[in-house]
Each structure stands twice: as structure tokens, then as C-alpha cells.
Structure 1
Amino acid sequence: MQDARTAPAPRPRPRWWTELPLLALVYGAYSAGRLVARGDVSTAVDHGLSILRLEKTLHINFEHPLNRLFTAHPSIGIPSDFAYASLHYLVTPVVLVWLFRRRQEIYRRARAWLMTSTMLGLIGFTLLPTCPPRLLEARHGFVDTMAQYSSYGWWGNEASAPRGMGGMTNQYAAMPSLHVGWAIWCGILLWRHGRNPYVRAAGVAYPVITVLVVMGTANHYFLDAVAGAAVMGVGALLARPLMRFADRVAERFSVRFPRLAPKAESPDTRKESPVSGAESPIVSAGCETSAGERIPGQRTTSADAVDAAPGGTPRAGSGAPSGAGTAGDDTPAAAR
């Protein structure tokens, strides 16, 4: 049995007032990093054409037939544009909140996985700025469906950003596709930890639909989607080591600044009352007995029985044999 003095202290439960600013800070740094990572446009176009040539050589340029389908059928293209412009920013936070409220035991690792993969994606944008298919010359056979159906939505001719705000996004950050990466993150968590069969089905459908949407709208190449999946895989491998590193940093911080460190509650030292739900380390806390009152099932000596009976007469059924428990006899009952 592990000594309580050597057992590791339990980590404090995440609180929403600390989680929300942390996530906002990471997303703000990611968005700012995308803008800073803007490279030369000609270099981004060259990278995009290189990816397209490689796909044609391998016969995996699936974005061509999908883009033609979305362009020819507004009933498919318009909902796909809405999905591309919104689901990326809605589903991921919803899954995070769901994990925070319902799956606390895996929330912290899932959050670390998402953050790590997002930062790896930012490195990819910096090292390999890539022109998406929709921004290539028309002779390459792509149509920008976001621009074609822009009158139906809030976006303009510059990606999925609202009209007039295109300058606040980096349109040459196509490799890797974090639309696909975040969708895979959501899908895996919904499939593994969802209890409702519809939730698990959504975990399968959402990443598949996202892959089709990003290619059909000409926002990403197929290899961008593959790179997004690879980034999430590497992020999953790095999440646990980074969590251990963060724990060591937090431990040193708590030693150096004990007043600022969050206090963790150990579940081993808490007992919950089945009636009121109040926690107390002592089972009989708050219970008192009056003079002469005996807890049911408690052993008593004959002297106690005499004192408790009216007139000092031994009470029937006291459980003390004749001659046992006399004054001055300190022998335990089991020995007698």
C-alpha cells in the first residue's frame, strides 16, 4: 500500500474562469501567428502548384471532380460553403465544453492535444505557405465556390471571413488543413467517449464531411487534409509529455509561491453524507448521545447496565453474564 506521505498530490480540477482565458490566449496567439506567417505570394503559389502536380502524378487529385460537382449544383455548394465558414468555429468549442462538463477525466489531455496540434499547424503555415486551389489561375480548373455563392452568406471573396475583414486572415495558410485536423479531433473524442449512438455516428460523419467540403470548395488540396491528420497524430503523441512538463512547472511554482498555487482536494479524505451530501472526514461528525443512551449494537458491562437500569437493578437482556464485568476488571470482553 502506498504511503499517503509519498503519494502524488491530486491535480486541482480545472475551473472555467481559468480555462476560458487560457483558450482565448492560445487562439489569439494562433490567429496572430497566421497573420505574421504570411509569406511571399509567388512562393505560396509555387508550393500549391507543386502539391497539385504531385497529386496528379499519384492520381489523387480528388479536389477537381468535387469542385466541379459543388460548382454545378448550388444545392450542394451553398450548404458546403456555410459548413466551411461556420462549423470549424462552432463544433470544436462545443466539444471542448462537453468534455469539460461531462468528461473531466480526459478533458485536460484532450485540451493539450488540441493546443499542441494547433501550434504545430502554425509552424507548417510558417515554413510552407501554400496557395489554395481557389486562388490558382483559372486554367488549373478550379472555381472559388465561396466567391460564386457569396451573395447567400456573410463572406466575401476572401476565404470565409466576413465581408470587409479579409485582411485579417491569411489566405495562403492551406498546408496543413486544420479544418480537417480539428474535425478529426472532434470525431475521435465523440466516437470514443460519446454514449449516445447518434453522437458516435456524428463523430464518424463530421471528419468525413469536412474533408469533402474543404476539397469541394477549393480551399484545400487532398494532401492538405492528409497533413492535417498527420499534425493531429503528432500532437496526440506529444500531449502527454507536455502535460508532464506542465505539471513539473506548476509544482515548482506552487513551492515557490504557495499562496498563489491552487489547492487540490483529495477524494480519499472525504466522506459524503447520504442524506445531505455534506462532506465530513469523520463518520459520526455532528452526532451526540445523551447520558445513559446507548448506540444500538454497542457492548456494555454489567456495571453500565446496573447504572442504566432504574434502581440499580441489572436490566434484562443486557448481555452481561453473571459475575462478569465487576469493578476493577479491565480484561477485554473477548479475552473473558
Structure 2
Amino acid sequence: MTPAFLRTAVVIGCGVTGTSIALALTGAGVEVALVDQDADAVARARRTGAGTAWTPDRPPADLVVVATPPSTVVDVLHDAQARGLGHVCTDTAGTKDIVAAEAELRGCDLKGYVPGHPLPAGDPAAGPSASRFAGRPWILCPYDTTPRWALATVAELAALCGAVRRDMTPQEHDLAMAAVSHVPYVVAAVVAGGLLDVDPALLPLAGDELAGVVRAVAALPGAGSDLLAHNAGPVADRLDKAAGALAAAARMLHRGEDTVPVELALLLELGERGRAALEAAGEHRTAEDARGPDRM
């Protein structure tokens, strides 16, 4: 695909997501400049062929991609706009409501900023890959006042990465992520933490099912907690609902009555229906596709 609006880009944040985006853009013929507070991170990204290090003499790019944790996005965005690094900016954070609101309160140029969130496939531990976005959703949360030219530039970013654009409001995005990503991540962390009470000699008894569940927590805890704090309300509501269902199951088992098997079967039937709904939606995932904070 030949770039139309997007010929130059600056990627700020050379982690797995930022470097993967840079790789996809360079592969599509976009000239990419890399920025990171960690010079080693920039060097690693350069060695993969993701682009070149940004220098102050570069003219403003067509697009700036802020690929940093949610708590830093607005600061980085405001600085990038103040320094004139590019004409249009977007981000990759896994929460959108607070980020979008803070950008407005901070006085960022909203006409040149389109909040975004790619949902790459694959295990972040495997490292950057330009193919991580192929066929995957790339959510855009434009403001009501977002101009068409800015939206077109960020839409082209998603297309060049092979992703499928989907527009949502920030609130819709965060509610969805709480349900399909953030709460499962917390539950996986709780399940994994519970393994610390198990005799290590017994852990080899675990099957692939458990490994698939707990793989989602294979990332820096700070990254996950930062993201969850930025989506606190929707996550807390979902956790309350899940905790209520678990407490009900525990009460059934504590009672030990003859009706327990039937009552538990009804609860487990809801789980089976949820699994079937996920598969019907086309979300066929393997253990390697388990979602971690990099994708949340």
C-alpha cells in the first residue's frame, strides 16, 4: 500500500508496541524517526530496522505516535505539540476516557490529536513484529471537532499496519476493554498469585488451561496497574459483578446441600454461553495470544 497522507512519522516510545508500529510503517515506505528517554531502546529499535533516531533538525512529521503508558500520554503529547514534532498526533494507550479528557483540560491541540488504541495479536514477550496488527482492530476515538484530514492520517496509520479501523467513543472503548481485557487480566493475576500457596512440587500437575490463563500476567506489574488505574470505574464495576458470582459459588459449596450440583451447573452454563459467544464473534485465541498490558 502506497502512503497517501502519511509519508513521515515520529514514534515516541520504543517498547514492543511502538517499535512494532515503526516496523510496519517503514515496511510500507514511511520515513520513521524514533524517540525514547532510553537511548538503548532507540538503539534496539534501530537495529530491527524500525527507523532512525530523531534529531532536532527534522521538519514536522505528518504523524506523531505516542506509544507510552497511559499516565504519561498527555505530558508527552503536550510536549510533542509544543515542539512542533508533527502535524497530527495519536496514541496507543489502552484507556481512552481519562486520556482524552486530560488532553482537553491540558490545552492540547485537539484538532491535531486523534486518540487511538491498536489491539495487536501475539505474545509481547516475543518482541516487536510488523505483523502483530494484521487483521486486528485499531480503535479510534475522535473528538466531535476532529477534522477529516487529521482522522484520515490516523486511519491511514491503521491501514498501513494492516489493522481494521473501528471508531468508538472513549467511554464505549473503556467499558469494552474492562470487559474483554482488563478484568480478565486482574482475574488472571489473582489466579496466578494463588499458586504461591501451592507446594512447588505440585505445580507440574497443571495443564495447558492454567498456563493459558496466567500467561496474561507475564509483564511488568507497574504497566498493568497504571492502565487499570486509568480505567478504574468500569473495571471496578466488572470486578464487583465477578466477585459476586464467585461469592455465590462459594456459598453454594459451603452449604453442601443436595441442590449444589444443579445450582453450580447453572452458573457454569453461563460460562459456557459466554465462551460460545466469544467464539461466535470470531475471537479464536490460542495460549500465545493471551492479552497482557502491552495490548490492553
Which structure is higher in RCO with an 8 Å CA cutoff and minimum separation 6?
1
State the structure with more CA Rg: 1
Q: Which has the higher strand share?
A: 2
Q: TM-score range by the shorter chain?
A: under 0.3
TM-score (norm 1): 0.20
TM-score (norm 2): 0.22
